[in-house]
Every structure is written in structure tokens, then in C-alpha cells.
């Protein structure tokens, strides 16, 4: 009798997981947890993941752990432009519950504006729009942040003078298993395979502007600001060894390689120029 009850409970648990998977449009690969080290999410590079160009309208409501740099990185913005759009002065301090606008505030121009926001205490997305206004297309990526109209842009062309300026180094030792794609997919950088716990290095001098696991699909992530033009990102780490606001030097160990947010041990590395992804291989020295 006890075996029958246990089996029924297991079947009910499996059914609930299936319902959750169908509701969020993603594959549940592990049990959710409040610990970032044990939470598993769908791979950012999965073919099923949605394409996500820069968001150009709507707003995002700041949640605990967010920084202006992480929000700009997530939605394809240059942090200075996003700060200017929202009247946020340096050092770009934001607070939970604060709305971050991606488009012009046209609330008084006929009511055609679509605003999508997310509560800081819930993953439920609430959309407010005038009657008769068509809903924006749904994203299958399951991101709990704002969804708004987007614009597809051509790949960023990096000036030769910037590429040859030097100062960049490989962020990890290992085999290159994924290259940058400029076709609008979510592969916005390169992937380097390695061993669990091996060191991850800062690719250039800079300041850590984000260190955490708040960006879906990147696992434990570090973002480094190198200048007013360039930032770099290091995803899927096992352990972060630097904190926000810390100054780092090229070649300094900043994390341990891991598999958080993905299906194998690797480093996902990105370089962004004024908020737009560029091919890291344009900057990294030849091996």
C-alpha cells in the first residue's frame, strides 16, 4: 500500500513539472532552488531559445540584484544611452521597483504605447495596453523581464584602429567550441571548453560592474567595464572570485569555470561595443 502511495505522489510531481515546462515554454532540466549553484535553466544557445534583438520600447522594473549595466547588457543597450534615457546620473545607482524605460514616454499621444513590467516579487509579467492595441509577440525564452517591440540591426563593424589597440587576452585556456554568430541568434560570443574549476581570467583591465546569476541563461556571470565603449562578459562560472566595483587587471583570475546555466563545463565569453555584441576573435590574439 505504501509503495502505491509513493508512486502516485511521484506521478503527481512529474505531472506538475510537465505543466510548469509547458507553461514557460522551456525544458525543465532540474529542480528549482533558491541557491544559484543548484538552479538549472535552459541553455542560452539552445535552438529552441528565442532570438532577442535590442528592446526599443516598454519598460523593465528593477529587481533586487540588478544593476544598470546588467539591464543594459540583457536588452542590447549601451549603458550610457540607457542612463540618459532614464535621467540616471553617474555612478548609475538604481533601486528595486524603479522603472527603466527603453522607449520614449508617449503616454499622452493617443494611448498607443505598450508597457510591459515585472513585479520585483513575482515572475508574472503584466501587460497594460489600450483596448484594440495588438499584443506584442510572446518570447519563448521564458525570460521574466520586460518584453517589448524590438528592432533587428546589422552586425557591428569594429574600426580597425580599435581592434589593433591591444590590451586583450584570452579569458581561459581550452578548446574553442563555439564561435560568434552575426545572424541574430543568441550566440553573441565564443564558447571555450575546459575543466571544472579551472581559472577564468579578465580579458583586459577594467572594473567589475556585475557579478551574479540574475541574467537567465548565463549562469554565474561577471561583466567588466573596460571603457566608455567596451564591456566584456564571462558566463557559466562555478564560482565568482571578484565583486562589483572591484578593479581588475588583464590576466587576473576572476572566476572558476563551471556549467551553471548550461549543459557542460565551458566559459561563454562576450565583448560588447556600445552595448552591441561584436566578435571577440577580432580582439583576441591569435593562438
Please, which pLDDT band fits residue 90 given cuts at 50, 70 and 90? confident
Which CATH architecture is the domain 54-151 placed in?
Roll (3.10)
Which residues lie below 8 Å from residue 49, measured CB to CB, with a gap of 6+? 42, 43, 140, 141, 186, 217
Q: What is the pLDDT of the chain when averaged over all its residues?
A: 72
Q: Report which of 253, 152, 159 is spatially closest to residue 197, judged by C-alpha positions.
A: 253
Q: Strand, coil or helix: what is 107? A: coil
By residue count, the chain amounts to 287
Q: Strand, coil or helix: what is 169? A: coil
Tell me: pLDDT of 139 over 60.
no
Residue whose entry in the numeric block shows the C-alpha cell 557559466? 236
Contact at 8 Å (CB) between 79 and 72? yes
- The predicted model gives 88-107 an average pLDDT of 84
Q: What is the pLDDT of residues 31-58, one digit of tens each?
A: 333 333 333 333 444 433 334 567 888 8
What sign for the dihedral angle of Cα 39, 275, 86, 58? negative
- The predicted model gives 78-84 an average pLDDT of 91
Q: What distance in Å separates the CA atoms of residue 233 and residue 237, rounded to the nearest whole number?
A: 11
Residue whose entry in the numeric block shows the C-alpha cell 538552479? 39
Q: What distance in Å separates the CA atoms of residue 81 and residue 18, rounded to the nearest whole number?
A: 41
Q: Is 242 left (phi over 0), alpha (psi -120 to 50) or beta?
A: beta
Please, which pLDDT band fits residue 103 given cuts at 50, 70 and 90? confident
- How far is CA 64 from its chain centroid? 15
- The predicted model gives 215-235 an average pLDDT of 95
Q: What is the pLDDT of residues 237-275, one digit of tens each?
A: 999 999 999 999 999 999 999 999 999 999 999 999 999
pLDDT of residue 130: 39
Helices (H), 55-198: 68-74, 79-86, 160-163
CA dihedral 190, 191, 192, 195 (to 10 degrees): 160
Under CATH, to which class is 160-282 assigned? mainly beta
Burial of 270 (0-12, 13-18, 19+ CB in 10 A): buried
- How far is CA 232 from its chain centroid? 12
Q: Which of 68-82, 103-117, 196-210 has the lowest mean pLDDT?
A: 103-117
Equal CATH topology for 54-151 and 160-282? no
Tell me: pLDDT of 6 over 90.
no
Q: Report which of 178, 203, 200 is spatially closest to residue 188, judged by C-alpha positions.
A: 178
Tell me: pLDDT of 168 over 60.
yes
The full set of domain ranges for the chain reads 54-151, 160-282
Amino acid at each position: 500500500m505504501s509503495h502505491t502511495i509513493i508512486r502516485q505522489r511521484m506521478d503527481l510531481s512529474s505531472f506538475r513539472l510537465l505543466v510548469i515546462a509547458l507553461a514557460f515554454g522551456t525544458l525543465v532540466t532540474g529542480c528549482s532552488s533558491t541557491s544559484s549553484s543548484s538552479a538549472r535553466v535552459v541553455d542560452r544557445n539552445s535552438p529552441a531559445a528565442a532570438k532577442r534583438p535590442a528592446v526599443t520600447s516598454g519598460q523593465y522594473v528593477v529587481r533586487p540584484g540588478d544593476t544598470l549595466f546588467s539591464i543594459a547588457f540583457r536588452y542590447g543597450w549601451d549603458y550610457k544611452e540607457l542612463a540618459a534615457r532614464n535621467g540616471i546620473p553617474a555612478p548609475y545607482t538604481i533601486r528595486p521597483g524603479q522603472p527603466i524605460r527603453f522607449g520614449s514616454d508617449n503616454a499622452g499621444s493617443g494611448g498607443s504605447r505598450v508597457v510591459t513590467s515585472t513585479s520585483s516579487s513575482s515572475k508574472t509579467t503584466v501587460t497594460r495596453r489600450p483596448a484594440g492595441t495588438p499584443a506584442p509577440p510572446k518570447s519563448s525564452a521564458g525570460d521574466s523581464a520586460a518584453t517589448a517591440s524590438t528592432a533587428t540591426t546589422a552586425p557591428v563593424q569594429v574600426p580597425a584602429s580599435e581592434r589593433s589597440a591591444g590590451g586583450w587576452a584570452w579569458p581561459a585556456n581550452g578548446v574553442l567550441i563555439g564561435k560568434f554568430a552575426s545572424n541574430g541568434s543568441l550566440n553573441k560570443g565564443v564558447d571555450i571548453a575546459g575543466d571544472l574549476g579551472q581559472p577564468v581570467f579578465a580579458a583586459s583591465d577594467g572594473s567589475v560592474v556585475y557579478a551574479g546569476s540574475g541574467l537567465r541563461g548565463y549562469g554565474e556571470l561577471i561583466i567588466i567595464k573596460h571603457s566608455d565603449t567596451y564591456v566584456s562578459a564571462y558566463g557559466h562560472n562555478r564560482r565568482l572570485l571578484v565583486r562589483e566595483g572591484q578593479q581588475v587587471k588583464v590576466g587576473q583570475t576572476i572566476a572558476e569555470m563551471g556549467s551553471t546555466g548550461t549543459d557542460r563545463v565551458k566559459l561563454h565569453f562576450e565583448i560588447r561595443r556600445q552595448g552591441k555584441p561584436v566578435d571577440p576573435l577580432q580582439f583576441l590574439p591569435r593562438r
